[in-house]
Homo-oligomer: A and B are copies of this chain.
Amino acid sequence: MLFLARMDVQFPAHLSTGEVARMQGLEKEYSQTLQREGQLVSIWRVVGEYANYSVFDVGSNDELHQILSGFPMYPFMKIKVTPLAKHPNSIR
């Protein structure tokens, strides 16, 4: 079951460069585990913005929320989720 998520990152001003870098490292690890395990199907950077569009393939809404709220940078992200269905014109 597919969902499109747009995720915008906004760090608070008081975070040090080191804290940011450490979180970005954890984020990368978490993100790549999700990709290898198949829940995170695609992730793209929005050109010119600290934001991404991601496609998730999960079994339920609860699983998706658990995954999203598990992102190390979750407290600093604004996420909008769009449920996707099969398109009648899709050949896949």
Contacts and interface: CB of A to CB of B under 8 A. Distances in A.
A62 to B, nearest CB: 5
Given A53-B4, A89-B28, A84 B46 contact: yes
B27 A89 contact: yes
Contact of A45 (B27, B44, B85): B85
Contacts of A27: 89
B82 A53 contact: yes
Given A28-B89, A89-B27, A65 B81 contact: no
A12 B75 CA distance: 12
Interface of A: 1-5, 12-14, 27-28, 31-32, 35-36, 42-49, 52-53, 55, 60-62, 64-66, 68-69, 78-92
